[in-house]
Amino acid sequence: MKRAIYLASSAVVLTLSATPALAQDAGAAAAPAPVQGDEIVVIGTPGGSGTSKQKASYAVTTISPDTLELAAPKSTAEVFTLVPGVWAESSGGVAGANIDVRGLPGGGDAPWVTFQINGAPIYGTQSLSFLEQSSIFRVDETIASTEAAHGGPNAVFSNGEVGVTMNFNLKKGGDRTTGRVKLGATDYGQYRADAVISGPLGEGFYYMLGGYVSRSPGIRDAQFTSEKGQQITAQLTKKLDNGEINLWTRWTDDHGQWYLPMALGTGNNLGTFSQLGNATRYESLRIDQNGTTETFDFARGRGWKGSVSGLNLNFDLGGGFSVRNNLSFTKGSADTLGFVPDGAPVTVAQLKAANGLTSVTTAGGATLGNAAYVQNYGHWVVTKDIQSLTNDISINLSSGGNDLTVGFYHAGWSSDDFWTLGNFRPVQNVANGDWLRNGITCGMLQNAGSGSGCWAYGIRSSGDATNNAIYLADSYEINDALRIDIGLRQSWLDINYLLDSGPGYPDGTTDLNVDRKASKFSYSGAVNYTVNSNLGFFARYSKGFRLFNFDDLRNGGGVAQVYSVDQIESGIKYRGDIFSAYLTGFLNHNDSFDSVVGGVSNGAFRTRAYGLEVDAAIHTGGFSFGALATLQNAKVTAATNTAIVGNEVFRQPSFQMRLSPSYEADLGGAKVTIYGAAQFVGERWSDLANTVKLPGYTKLDAGIEAKFNSGLFFRVAADNLNNSHGLTEGDPRAAGSNNGRPILGRSFTFNVGFDF
């Protein structure tokens, strides 16, 4: 691992030293496309004041609309394939990803990830069980730019995120009316229409309006339209002599089938298999202690129905003073309905032998042969009604070479939940397989060696929380080359949580009724050295934390702790006429807690991770080449379960790389771009005990785009061209079951549109 990091560092340093000569040789070539570095980013700055990527004393990734468009992510979480230092398991569908950052242990959902719109967090805490923030955001044509800050000063600003913060800036109207209409279709039956328009409403007053409608059976066809989505976004902008006001809102109703681990060795197509189908689409489940039942439609899948709205204020008060305010309000339902495996499949012969059966038939009357596979599956229902209000106000004084900022951050959020988990019974293990006849139970497959748990768990809960914080930041330029950045933050947390749990349903008894408070101090300091306009260095130390949430209280029986993270980062920032490279090394120490719903907890543990992030690009003539890479080593250093000490942090690869070449040429009245991407993912452990290793894999994408001077454009793209069945996870509830969740199979997308 250390050798790999050394070799990667050496390669980039050699490239940096060779670049001036390369630039001389290319002097007669056509003017190259601009390289990265000048983009303005707002995350990682006090109150979202903004800085350029080249001046930032922390690692930040910027993603242009063109880059995002060609990447064509199938989910918001998949955008993280464009961000080094982040591992996103986006194979769960349009929602429901697992996202990990820099070796910080997660294991499920996204406990170290914050999403923002226009610099305002969209929910008060990073993640809850069955809710990570990418699930309540959808990518569409209304996005102007995307940025992601890894670690760095975010431990002090906004919500105090120590992992990664991804911010989406919405398009604003201008003095000229512009827009886009786009239609899309795929080879698996998806149809989508996008549109956006913006322009003036009056002097200094502008609008933007856009959205999409989409329908699809999904790559993993469930025999019905399993993916349905629609969204509309609007923003009003008022420019004043001394500032700007933005008022925006986004309404979304988008959901899709929740893709889960599946049996890997039973002959099913790993790229398109869906156990869920018409035979198992509806299920009646008990929901309370009185025996009341409710029928659920599992076509609802996992997704978001609600709105996120916000207000951004930015005013110059004169005399070097300025004030900024970023507000967001979120309200809606983030429900999860999924068909979840329990243990490994067994053959009909094994089922018969273990239980004295003479025949096995499905509910539809089909008799299964001895070689057929059957497996326990259960309908899981999680309903979440969530609400969040966040507000970040800051006052800045800029005087000479010094910028001083004082800010106040407030977040108030809630989640009202109903869960019924488990509910396992046998199905035939084929695509859209039927139930087995009545009388064959989960326990019978357990007898046959499936390893099933046959458990059930349900809750009804209500949680409310507030987080108030004050922060102070100062950026002082000692001279033209040297700058010092420091930040301090004090946070106060107050959580109220009420829980009623039971055996598959809430049993009517209050298990928890707690009010917990915590306060925490964090800080970050950096030195930034600018050699010249093309080359700079930074070094930073941060001490941050993750505040506990409702799940921590539930899992801890009303007791929870604040998890601290110490992080050291250092980076090289280089941009030339045709080449740019941003390298960041990191080292972090973390206190964590392992919690997997339905799994076996390893208790409290500590981790250490170090690694290198690479973000490089070449632009010369019509040719462009991007390289993103992450090398990391993350291990458990202490634990209540001493057997896992020394093990690697699970579900995160020690190596991942994305290479993205493209070539652009003017052909008469059209600009044609041929592009591709190759993603290389290393091995990972499926579990913290390091008993099951997931193999590495390679995924290839390619496409061609033609944009005509008239505004018309066409695009054809292939996703997973090599039809890789790379596994993003094993089975978090049964590590040895030979279940796993592969990436989605090969697909083709066709787009036609018009820009005006």
pLDDT tens per residue, range 263-276: 999 999 999 999 99
The answer to which of 33-47, 338-352, 558-572 has the lowest mean pLDDT is 33-47
Q: Does the pLDDT value for residue 14 go beyond 90?
A: no
Return d(Cα 212, Cα 253) in angstroms, integer: 11
Q: How far is CA 285 from the centre of its chain?
A: 31
Q: Does the pLDDT value for residue 27 go beyond 70?
A: no
- Phi, then psi, of 10 in degrees rounded to 5: -60, -40
Give the containing element (helix H, strand E) for 519.
strand 512-532
Return d(Cα 245, Cα 237) in angstroms, integer: 6
Specify the higher pLDDT residue, 471 or 735: 471
Length of the chain in residues, anyone?
756
Determine the average pLDDT of the residues in 579-597: 83
Q: Does the pLDDT value for residue 31 go beyond 50?
A: no
Tell me which residue of 283, 270, 504, 275 sits closest to 375, measured CA to CA. 275
Paired with 602 in beta bridges are none
Tell me which residue of 157, 232, 225 sits closest to 191, measured CA to CA. 225
Q: Above pLDDT 70, what percent of the chain?
A: 93
The answer to which of 149-153, 243-247, 249-253, 747-751 has the lowest mean pLDDT is 149-153
The residue with tokens 């980013």 is: 41
pLDDT at 55: 85
From the CB of residue 603, how many other CB atoms can be counted at a distance below 10 Å? Answer: 11
The residue with tokens 């298990």 is: 511
Q: Which two tokens stand for residue 135?
A: 């699930």
The strands making up 113-117's β-sheet, listed across from edge to edge, are 59-63, 143-150, 164-170, 113-117, 120-121
Determine the average pLDDT of the residues in 28-38: 45
Q: Does the pLDDT value for residue 550 go beyond 70?
A: yes
From the CB of residue 34, how many other CB atoms can be counted at a distance below 10 Å? Answer: 12
pLDDT at 122: 97
The residue with tokens 């329990």 is: 342
Q: Does the pLDDT value for residue 601 go beyond 60?
A: no
pLDDT at 334: 98
Return d(Cα 654, Cα 102) in angstroms, integer: 10
pLDDT at 39: 76
pLDDT at 595: 52
**Distance between terminal CA atoms of the chain?**
50
Would the CA dihedral through 49, 53, 54, 56 be positive or negative? positive
Return d(Cα 279, Cα 301) in angstroms, integer: 16
The answer to which of 9-23, 553-567, 706-720, 739-753 has the lowest mean pLDDT is 9-23
pLDDT at 438: 85
Buried b (16+ CB within 10 A) or exposed e, 193-223: ebbbbbeeeeeeebbbbbbbebebbbbbbbb
The answer to which of 18-27, 151-160, 673-682, 708-717 has the lowest mean pLDDT is 18-27
pLDDT tens for 63-100 read 999 999 999 999 999 999 999 999 999 899 999 899 99
The strands making up 727-729's β-sheet, listed across from edge to edge, are 262-263, 739-742, 727-729
pLDDT at 43: 75
Largest CA distance in the chain: 89
pLDDT tens for 317-362 read 999 999 999 999 999 999 999 999 999 999 999 999 999 999 999 9
Q: How far is CA 142 from the centre of its chain?
A: 19
**What is each CA distance from 639 to 113, 606, 735, in whole angstroms?**
24, 6, 20
Return d(Cα 594, Cα 123) in angstroms, integer: 23
pLDDT tens for 121-157 read 999 999 999 999 999 999 999 999 999 998 888 889 8
**What is each CA distance from 106 to 89, 163, 376, 732, 734, in whole angstroms?**
12, 11, 27, 12, 17
pLDDT tens for 691-717 read 999 999 999 999 999 999 999 999 999
pLDDT at 46: 75
Q: Does the pLDDT value for residue 561 go beyond 60?
A: yes
Determine the average pLDDT of the residues in 93-113: 90
Q: Does the pLDDT value for residue 5 go beyond 60?
A: no
Determine the average pLDDT of the residues in 162-175: 95
From the CB of residue 633, how many other CB atoms can be counted at a distance below 10 Å? Answer: 17
Q: Which two tokens stand for residue 272?
A: 């398109």
| pTM of the predicted protein model | 0.92
Tell me which residue of 415, 423, 383, 645 sits closest to 553, measured CA to CA. 415
Return d(Cα 568, Cα 522) in angstroms, integer: 14
Return d(Cα 529, Cα 480) in angstroms, integer: 9
| Contact (CB, 8 A) for 111 and 546 | yes
Determine the average pLDDT of the residues in 171-194: 98
pLDDT band per the 50, 70, 90 thresholds, residue 294: very high
Tell me which residue of 335, 216, 229, 334 sits closest to 274, measured CA to CA. 216
Q: Does the pLDDT value for residue 732 go beyond 90?
A: no
DSSP string, 315-361: EEEETTEEEEEEEEEEEEE--EEEEEE-S--EEHHHHHHHHT-S--B
Return d(Cα 83, Cα 113) in angstroms, integer: 13
Give the mean pLDDT of the chain. 91
The answer to which of 40-44, 245-249, 740-744 has the lowest mean pLDDT is 40-44
Determine the average pLDDT of the residues in 620-627: 95
Q: Does the pLDDT value for residue 1 go beyond 50?
A: no
Q: Above pLDDT 90, what percent of the chain?
A: 83
Tell me which residue of 423, 455, 430, 424 sits closest to 374, measured CA to CA. 430
pLDDT at 106: 83
The answer to which of 583-587, 590-594, 633-637 has the lowest mean pLDDT is 590-594
Tell me which residue of 475, 378, 394 sits closest to 435, measured CA to CA. 378
The residue type found at 210 is G
Tell me which residue of 8, 15, 10 sits closest to 578, measured CA to CA. 15
Q: Does the pLDDT value for residue 118 go beyond 80?
A: yes
| Contact (CB, 8 A) for 327 and 310 | yes
Q: E strands within 400-511?
A: 402-421, 424-428, 457-477, 482-502
Return d(Cα 39, Cα 52) in angstroms, integer: 5
pLDDT band per the 50, 70, 90 thresholds, residue 593: low
pLDDT at 594: 56
- Phi, then psi, of 82 in degrees rounded to 5: -95, 10
Give the containing element (helix H, strand E) for 555.
helix 550-555
With 0-12 CB in 10 A as exposed, 13-18 as middle and 19+ as buried, what is 291? exposed
Q: Does the pLDDT value for residue 44 go beyond 80?
A: no
**What is each CA distance from 557 to 275, 460, 507, 616, in whole angstroms?**
35, 15, 17, 47
Q: Which two tokens stand for residue 397?
A: 């004084």
Residue 672, helix vs strand vs coil: strand
